Structure 1
Amino acid sequence: MIRDAASIPLGARLPVDVCIVGAGAAGISLALSLSGRGLRVMLLEAGREAEHAPTQALYAGEVADERLHSPPDKYRQRRFGGSTTLWGGRCMPFDAIDFERRAWIEHSGWPISLAELLPFYPEANRLAEAGEFAYDAAQALPGVGPLFAGFHSERVRTDGLERFSCPTDFGRRYARRLRVAADVDLLLGANCTGIRLAADGRSVRTLEVSTLEGTRFAVVPRVAVLALGGLETARLLLASDDVAPGGVGNRHDVVGRYYMCHIAGNVGTLEVNGPTQAVRHGYEVSPEGIYCRRRIALTEAVQRSEGLANAVARLHFPRITDPRHRNGVLSGLFLSRRFISYEYGKRLNDGGAATPGVLARHLLNVVSDPLDTTRFLAHWLRHRTLAERKFPSVILRNRSNRFSMEMHGEQVPNADSRVTLADARDALGMRRLRVDWRYSPQDIDSLRRTLRILAQEFEASGTGRLTLDEDRLEEDLTRFGAYGGHHIGTARMGSDPRSSVVDANARVHSVDNLYVAGSAIFPTSSQANPTLTLIATSLRLGRHLAQRLDPHALTLIEEEVPA
């Protein structure tokens, strides 16, 4: 069932088997996996079904450098469905090498392997509505030609895929299933403001919950799961310091550290030989109707031999800010950047000053290119604006076989990249976040050497020529800072409590009945967007909890606590 937390009696105590805090992709996936197993599940969601400005304002906080990281209330949604209400839908699994302890990447290595997670990926794909779990072009796109005609390399792969969700808003998509589930109780407007431990600190006694309307009550769970995202999970752990000094699970000062996103940007110029038909740079549609796109990546063997972090490259259009591309669509996007959502509009400022002369040349491009502009707008309206399964992004007609390379690279774990608590407090009295995201020289150097190998392989195969301006590579790769709203690693998984927050089952080392779901537990960030893997790890956690807990459900009781 779904109800408003304001309907709970003031001071009530609600006993449940499992209380999940946060109803985004991780929390909803976990709740669905536990439904029907004889357990009583409560799902606490701070937001509403629609965006609510006072609730969203609870995310506001500080950043050490806004050039490197967006303010905490941007590109996150405090509402039912979480940030799936605004994600782009890009899905792909992590690679086997991501889980390995790599000597050249300090603090790498997961306590689980890809093989242990693989059984959960197909269901994750289904929940994300990304079709079959098939991420090899030969398997997913039978009969479709290669990315580059005639390109052969033992060091570079071009047959890996990314698949695209609708993109699915998990709140809207799964609201009905949660509403009719008799064993799941979803409370909206329910802000968890504190984890209250037993006196010995070894177990969760209650979760404190508050509404903006002033209702306060407690949940008494057999097991509690934090599925609040990489930033809010750390915030709640750090703020709950009445029994555990420094915060829950933070005995060794690890909570909030190792904060990762991805290193990304558009770099270089790839000139492909041959006719434009020799490059399939756009989206393909799989037999079940899923948009898919090829990516370029070094093999795991090359990553090992060269000591490189994982990364992928995608073919991208020329630099959008430079009107010399003479493309009306690109100029139109640049001119409309202020009317596009915060994070995506920010990426349209791809270097270069928007002087009156530059703006005039962009306007001239739009006026001079009416046919392509009209064709693009018609396609966008039909296949993006009005479509349930949306065309994923801007793809332009290939006229010249000239592309930039859109890089998306793994970030090396860095203990100094972290989130902490600020002194300011929100409307509920919780201390706000302070975000200090940092990248390292190794992050940039790894992508530099990856690009050099790609250039060598393109030239050796006779496919084309990749040229790089290495003097501006760091600027290009950090222009947008922490990329894509990927909040990773702040409650990392590991076997050693001195360097991790949760164990291989995602249980907080020092607390017997407290778990974390979502990308906060990832020890490394991979080349991949985190959503598909955070769903898979949540489903794995669901199986673990179902096996751990007695299948006989508790009766949900709302009892008044005397004042």
Structure 2
Amino acid sequence: MIESAHEVPRGTTLQADVCVVGAGAAGIPLALSLSGRGLSVLLLEAGERTKDTKAQAHYQGEVADERMHSPLHRYRLRGLGGSTSLWGGRCMPYDPIDFEERAWVPHSGWPISYEGLLPWYAQANTWVEAGRFEYDARTALPSAPPMFAGFESAIVRTHGLERFSCPTDFGKRYRKRLEVAPDVRVLTGAHCTAIRLDESGANVRTLEVATLVGNRFQVSARAVVLASGGLETARLMLHSSDVAPQGVGNQHDVVGRYYQCHIAGNVGTLTVHGHVNNVRHGYETAPDGVYCRRRLQIDPVQQRRHGLMNAVARLHFPKITDPAHRSGVLSGLVLAKHLISYEYGKRLRDAHPMGSEVWARHVLNVLRDPLDTAAFLTHWVRRRTLSQRKFPSVILRNRTNRFSLEIQAEQQPLASSRVQLTEQPDALGMRKLRVDWRYCLADIESVARTLDLIAAELGRTGVGRYEYEVDRLEEDLMRYGAYGGHHIGTVRMGSHPKNSVVDADCKVHSVSNLYVAGSAVFPTSSQANPTLTIVALSLRLADRLAQRLQPRRAAAEELFA
């Protein structure tokens, strides 16, 4: 059932076997996966509705360098479904190498393996509605031509796929299941403001919960799962300092550190030789109806050999804000940038204001290119606006065989890249966050060596020529700072409490009944968007909790039968 937290009697203590804080990509699959297993589940969601403006204001905080990181109320939403209400739907698993301890990547290594997560990855694909768990074009798209005609390389892979969700808004898609589940109770408008430990600090005694209209109550549960995102989870743990002065789980000052996003940007120019049909640069439809897209990636054997962090490159059109591309579609996007949401319009906003001459050239592009512009608008309305499974993004007809490479790369985990609390409280008394996201020169150098390998292989095979300006690489990658809403690593997973916060089962090392679900626990960021791995880990945690909690419950029921 779904209820408002306003209706909970003030000062009461609600009881549950499992309390999940946050109803997004981690919390909803976890709660519903526990349903039907003999456990009572309480799911707390701070927002009362999708895109809850009043609740959203409680995300506001400080950013150390606004050029490097978006404001904290961007890219994440309070409301049933959380940030799945605005995500783009890109899905891919992490690669097996991402889970390994790599000598050239400090603080790398997961306490679980890719193979250990694989059963839940397959389930996660169903939850995100991305079709089959098949991310190799050679088997997923068996009749489709290769990415580049005549390209064979043991160094650069071109058969890796991204699959795209609808994109699925978990709040809308799974609302009915939450409403009818007899053992899952959802409270909206329920802001968890503190974790109260017992005197020993080894167990969660209660959670403090508040609403924006002044109601306050507590929750007592056998297991508590924090599923409120990579930033908010760290904030709640650091803020809860009455028993543990440094914050819950923070005896070794790890909570909030190692904060990662992705290194991303459009770099260089790729010219593919021969006919435009020699290259597959857009989206393809798998037999199950899911949109897929290929990308370039260095083979893991070569990543080890060259000491590279993981990265992918997608074929992309030229710089959108430069009218020299002469595309009416791209110029139309630039002219309409203020009508596009922040999350997707950010990269249409150049570092410098658009002068009248540049504005006029964009207008001229639109006027000169009416047929392509009209065709694009028709396609967009039919395949994006009106379609349940939406066409993922703008793809232009290939006229020139000239592309830029859109890079999305792993960054090195840095202890100095962190989130901390300010002294300023929000309206509910929680101290606000200050984010200081950082990257290092090794991140940029790894991308450079990746691009050099790609360029060499394209040249060796005669497929094309790729060139980029080495001196501008850092500028190109950092033009928009940290990439989007990929908030990773603030409550990292590991085997040792001195350099991690949760164990292989996502349980906080120092607290027997406190768990974390979501990208906060990822030790490293990989090349991949985090959502599919978030869901997979949450499903795995649900199975772990069911195994841990049910035997005790069954014994108690037998005792009182």
Regarding TM over 0.5, the answer is yes
Q: Which residue in the other structure is 1:543 paired with?
A: 543
- Determine if contact 1:197/1:203 at 8 Å carries over to the other structure: yes
Counterpart residue identity of residue 228, structure 1: S
Which string of whole-angstrom CA distances, capped at 9 and with x for unpartnered residues, describes residues 518-560 of structure 1? 00000000000000001000111111000000254899xxxxx
Instruction: Structure 1: state its 5+ residue gaps.
Output: 556-563
Q: Which residue in the other structure is 2:413 paired with?
A: 413
- Determine if contact 2:269/2:405 at 8 Å carries over to the other structure: yes
Structure-to-structure mapping, 1:516-527, within 5 angstroms? 516-527=516-527
- Determine if contact 1:493/1:500 at 8 Å carries over to the other structure: yes
Aligned-partner SS, 1:270? strand
- The CA distance in 2 between the partners of 1:85 and 1:137, in whole Å, is 29
- The CA distance in 1 between the partners of 2:502 and 2:183, in whole Å, is 27
Structure-to-structure mapping, 1:437-476, within 5 angstroms? 437-476=437-476
Deviation at 1:355?
1.4
Q: Which residue in the other structure is 2:330 paired with?
A: 330
- The CA distance in 2 between the partners of 1:51 and 1:407, in whole Å, is 30
- Determine if contact 1:269/1:403 at 8 Å carries over to the other structure: yes
Which string of whole-angstrom CA distances, capped at 9 and with x for unpartnered residues, describes residues 285-342 of structure 1? 0111000000110000110000000000000001111111110000011111111111
Give the TM-score normalised by structure 1.
Answer: 0.97
Q: Which residue in the other structure is 1:558 paired with?
A: none
Which string of whole-angstrom CA distances, capped at 9 and with x for unpartnered residues, describes residues 178-228 of structure 1? 100000000000000000000000000001100001111100000000001
- Determine if contact 1:63/1:435 at 8 Å carries over to the other structure: yes
Matched, 1:389 2:389: yes
Q: Which residue in the other structure is 1:140 paired with?
A: 140
Counterpart residue identity of residue 340, structure 1: I
Deviation at 1:75?
1.3
- The CA distance in 1 between the partners of 2:555 and 2:388, in whole Å, is 40
- Determine if contact 2:50/2:85 at 8 Å carries over to the other structure: no
Q: Which residue in the other structure is 2:308 paired with?
A: 308
Structure-to-structure mapping, 1:139-538, within 5 angstroms? 139-350=139-350, 353-538=353-538
Deviation at 1:351?
5.3
Aligned-partner SS, 1:549? helix
Counterpart residue identity of residue 141, structure 1: L
- Determine if contact 1:319/1:350 at 8 Å carries over to the other structure: no
- Determine if contact 1:24/1:82 at 8 Å carries over to the other structure: yes
Deviation at 1:349?
2.6
- The CA distance in 2 between the partners of 1:381 and 1:424, in whole Å, is 45
Aligned-partner SS, 2:231? helix
Give the TM-score normalised by structure 2.
Answer: 0.98
Aligned-partner SS, 2:9? coil
- The CA distance in 1 between the partners of 2:309 and 2:323, in whole Å, is 34
Deviation at 1:353?
5.0
Deviation at 1:354?
1.4
Q: Which is further off, 444-453 or 49-58?
A: 49-58
- Determine if contact 1:46/1:190 at 8 Å carries over to the other structure: yes
Aligned-partner SS, 1:523? coil
Structure-to-structure mapping, 1:41-190, within 5 angstroms? 41-190=41-190
- The CA distance in 2 between the partners of 1:407 and 1:472, in whole Å, is 14
Q: Which residue in the other structure is 2:38 paired with?
A: 38
**Identity percentage of aligned residues:** 66
- The CA distance in 1 between the partners of 2:350 and 2:418, in whole Å, is 27
Deviation at 1:50?
2.8
- The CA distance in 2 between the partners of 1:282 and 1:536, in whole Å, is 27
Deviation at 1:56?
0.6
Q: Which is further off, 546-555 or 264-273?
A: 546-555
Name the count of aligned residue pairs.
555
Deviation at 1:52?
2.1
Deviation at 1:352?
5.7
Aligned-partner SS, 2:301? helix
- The CA distance in 1 between the partners of 2:310 and 2:514, in whole Å, is 31
RMSD: 1.1
CA 1:371–1:84 in structure 2 vs 1: closer, same or farther (change >3 Å)? same
Aligned-partner SS, 1:78? coil
- Determine if contact 1:62/1:433 at 8 Å carries over to the other structure: yes
- Determine if contact 1:130/1:290 at 8 Å carries over to the other structure: yes
- The CA distance in 2 between the partners of 1:352 and 1:188, in whole Å, is 42
- The CA distance in 1 between the partners of 2:499 and 2:487, in whole Å, is 19
- The CA distance in 2 between the partners of 1:51 and 1:546, in whole Å, is 32
